[in-house]
């Protein structure tokens, strides 16, 4: 029988009884054919691969990451709590030394869920990777982590959550925001004042194939990881770059995903998007499982695979080469870019509108990041939506200095309840969450 080179923990939870709606891409049978493929290949009989049931995430787990308006119970369903709990279980298997690597094949996904949650964005309500990572930090200590988002959509939620955290390097590959939801993820989105340079976006042109993805990995991502030296690599493993995906325009293959995973060598992978549930998911997931287990994935191939059709045009190859050079230069120059941005400023203010496409809600948000030379700086969000419900939310970062802690509590106490529907304080230093309302 086969034996895995790496002990792999698999949390496979297809949630066969949950859907957004009967014909929605995020529906019951999204992982059905993946299950068929995994079962038929006999993955569960491979020595070293172990299947786990998900945990169920707690409200505390969610509140380390999000401000759910009005509350966690009102926004996240049990399925979301299980999906996040599945990611937590995967990480737990690795941290407890039961597995060398782990893959959470769970749904629904989470990488579009930002810090504030009024509703569903891109089928995401809570950010399952971030919830996993913060749970793991709370239990196993502070860690330098890189999250590599290989989903075809910009991981805007994860970007927002780690915007000001230099202990979490976030790199997102995605189809250029000018051509795809959510329309963000450009190279100048580079991190908040406490973490400038630690948020890296790689917007790729439609039609990017195997060659392009592996080029970005080898010439940009791996060199940056070499310099950043994360203690843990998480792959936000969306699979919608596949050439059969109905929502996107890329030309990536199942073998390509496996190869990318092999070269990236993540500790934990968490399934994100990917809606070609018959033509891609079974093969991509199998490829990733084999790559993570250290098994031979060279025979993983889609039924309609045709290398000639998927050949990447020379023009795209040239474009990606230049793009990588530009981004890598920015990474090397991040200190001077940072100095220029924060020079003489006490705070950095960002105003943005966030659209919840699945629920049709518009949010109007102002973020204020304190520039602090001792820590990454207390920060706050003032926000409201077109359905009302204005909120005021303060985050004290994990590395907060005493004066930022004091300032955070002061802001929370002094916020006038008359003006807001909810007032929140996320004290990440002490791992506590406060909430008040009229």
Residues found near other proteins in the complex (CB under 8 A): 1-2, 12-18, 22-23, 27-29, 32-33, 35-37, 39-42, 44-45, 51-54, 56, 78-79, 82, 246, 278, 282-283, 286, 290, 295-296, 298-301, 303
Q: How far is the CB of 35 from other proteins (least distance, A)?
A: 7
* Nearest CA among 240, 256, 158, 149 for reference residue 202: 149
CB of 391 within 8 A of CB of 416? Answer: no
Which tokens go with 263?
Answer: 């070269």
Pick one of Zn ion, other proteins, none as the site partner of residue 273 (Cβ within 5 to 8 A by kind): Zn ion
Pick one of other proteins, Zn ion, none as the site partner of residue 394 (Cβ within 5 to 8 A by kind): none
Pick one of Zn ion, other proteins, none as the site partner of residue 174 (Cβ within 5 to 8 A by kind): Zn ion
Based on CB atoms, which residue is closest to Zn ion, 245 or 259? 245
Pick one of Zn ion, other proteins, none as the site partner of residue 192 (Cβ within 5 to 8 A by kind): none
Q: How far is the CB of 20 from other proteins (least distance, A)?
A: 12
By CB under 5 A, name the binding residues for Zn ion: 149, 151-153, 155, 172, 174, 238, 240, 273, 372, 374-375, 401, 404
Based on CB atoms, which residue is closest to other proteins, 276 or 385? 276
CB of 163 within 8 A of CB of 184? Answer: no
Pick one of other proteins, Zn ion, none as the site partner of residue 438 (Cβ within 5 to 8 A by kind): none
Residues contacting residue 246 through CB under 8 Å, at least 6 positions apart: 25, 275, 276
Based on CB atoms, which residue is closest to other proteins, 55 or 158? 55
Q: How far is the CB of 298 from Zn ion (least distance, A)?
A: 26
Pick one of other proteins, Zn ion, none as the site partner of residue 41 (Cβ within 5 to 8 A by kind): other proteins
Cβ-based burial of 328 (10 A; exposed 0-12, middle 13-18, buried ≥19): middle
Q: How far is the CB of 59 from Zn ion (least distance, A)?
A: 27
Cβ-based burial of 350 (10 A; exposed 0-12, middle 13-18, buried ≥19): middle
CA–CA gap between residue 191 and residue 24 (Å, rounded):
33
Which DSSP letter does residue 374 get?
S
Q: How far is the CB of 15 from other proteins (least distance, A)?
A: 6
Pick one of other proteins, Zn ion, none as the site partner of residue 172 (Cβ within 5 to 8 A by kind): Zn ion
CA–CA gap between residue 218 and residue 310 (Å, rounded):
20
Based on CB atoms, which residue is closest to Zn ion, 213 or 392? 213
Angle at 77 between CA 76 and CA 80, to 5 degrees: 75
Based on CB atoms, which residue is closest to other proteins, 14 or 157? 14
Among 66, 80, 112, 174, the active-site one is 112
CA–CA gap between residue 218 and residue 241 (Å, rounded):
18
Q: Tokens 């916020």 sit at which residue?
A: 415
Which residues pair with residue 106 across a beta bridge? 13
Which residue number is nearest to Zn ion in terms of Cβ? 273
CA atoms within 13 A on the CB side of 306: 4
Which tokens go with 74?
Answer: 């009102």
> 281-293 vs 32-41: helix axis angle to the nearest 10?
50
CA–CA gap between residue 56 and residue 65 (Å, rounded):
16
Based on CB atoms, which residue is closest to other proteins, 16 or 186? 16
Strand pairing category for 388-396 and 379-385? antiparallel
Based on CB atoms, which residue is closest to Zn ion, 86 or 155? 155
Pick one of Zn ion, other proteins, none as the site partner of residue 372 (Cβ within 5 to 8 A by kind): Zn ion
Catalytic residue at 112? yes
Cα-to-chain-centroid distance, residue 355: 18
Q: How far is the CB of 174 from Zn ion (least distance, A)?
A: 4
Based on CB atoms, which residue is closest to other proteins, 195 or 281? 281
Q: How far is the CB of 245 from Zn ion (least distance, A)?
A: 8
CA–CA gap between residue 270 and residue 291 (Å, rounded):
14
Which tokens go with 417?
Answer: 């309840």
Q: How far is the CB of 180 from Zn ion (least distance, A)?
A: 9
> So which residues are the catalytic ones?
112
């Amino acid at each position: 029988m086969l034996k895995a080179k790496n002990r792999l923990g698999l949390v496979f939870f297809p949630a066969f009884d949950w859907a957004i709606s009967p014909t929605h891409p995020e529906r019951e049978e999204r992982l059905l054919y993946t299950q068929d493929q995994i079962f038929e290949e006999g993955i569960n009989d491979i020595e070293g691969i172990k299947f786990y049931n998900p945990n169920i995430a707690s409200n505390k787990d969610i509140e380390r990451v999000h401000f759910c308006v009005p509350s966690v119970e009102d926004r996240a369903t049990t399925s979301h709590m299980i999906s996040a709990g599945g990611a937590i279980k995967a990480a737990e298997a690795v941290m407890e030394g039961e597995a060398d690597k782990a893959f959470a094949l769970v749904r629904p996904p989470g990488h579009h869920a930002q810090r504030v949650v009024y509703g569903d964005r891109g089928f995401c309500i809570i950010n399952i990777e971030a919830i996993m990572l913060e749970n793991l930090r709370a239990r196993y200590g502070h860690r330098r982590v890189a999250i590599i988002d290989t989903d075809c959509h910009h991981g805007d939620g994860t970007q927002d959550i780690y915007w000001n955290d230099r202990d979490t390097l976030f790199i997102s590959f995605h189809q250029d925001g000018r051509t795809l939801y959510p329309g963000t993820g450009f190279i100048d989105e580079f991190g908040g004042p406490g973490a400038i340079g630690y948020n890296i976006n790689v917007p790729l042109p439609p039609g990017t194939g195997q060659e392009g993805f592996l080029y970005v990995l080898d010439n940009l991502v791996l060199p940056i990881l070499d310099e950043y030296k994360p203690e843990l690599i998480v792959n936000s493993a969306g699979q919608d770059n596949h050439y059969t995906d109905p929502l996107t325009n890329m030309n990536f293959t199942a073998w390509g995903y496996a190869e990318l995973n092999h070269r990236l060598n993540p500790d934990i992978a968490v399934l994100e998007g990917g809606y070609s549930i018959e033509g891609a998911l079974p093969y991509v997931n199998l490829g990733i499982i084999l790559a993570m287990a250290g098994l031979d994935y060279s025979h993983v191939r889609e039924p309609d695979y045709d290398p000639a059709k998927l050949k990447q045009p020379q023009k795209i190859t040239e474009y990606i080469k230049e793009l990588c050079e530009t981004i890598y230069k920015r990474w090397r120059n991040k200190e001077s870019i940072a100095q220029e941005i924060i020079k003489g400023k006490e705070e950095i203010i960002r105003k943005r509108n966030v659209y919840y496409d699945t629920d049709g809600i518009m949010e109007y948000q102002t973020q204020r990041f304190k520039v602090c030379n001792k820590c990454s700086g207390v920060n706050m969000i003032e926000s409201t939506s077109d359905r009302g419900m204005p909120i005021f939310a303060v985050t004290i970062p994990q590395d907060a200095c005493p004066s930022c802690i004091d300032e955070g509590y002061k802001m929370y106490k002094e916020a006038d309840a008359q003006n807001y529907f909810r007032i929140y304080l996320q004290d990440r230093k002490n791992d506590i969450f406060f909430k008040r309302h009229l």
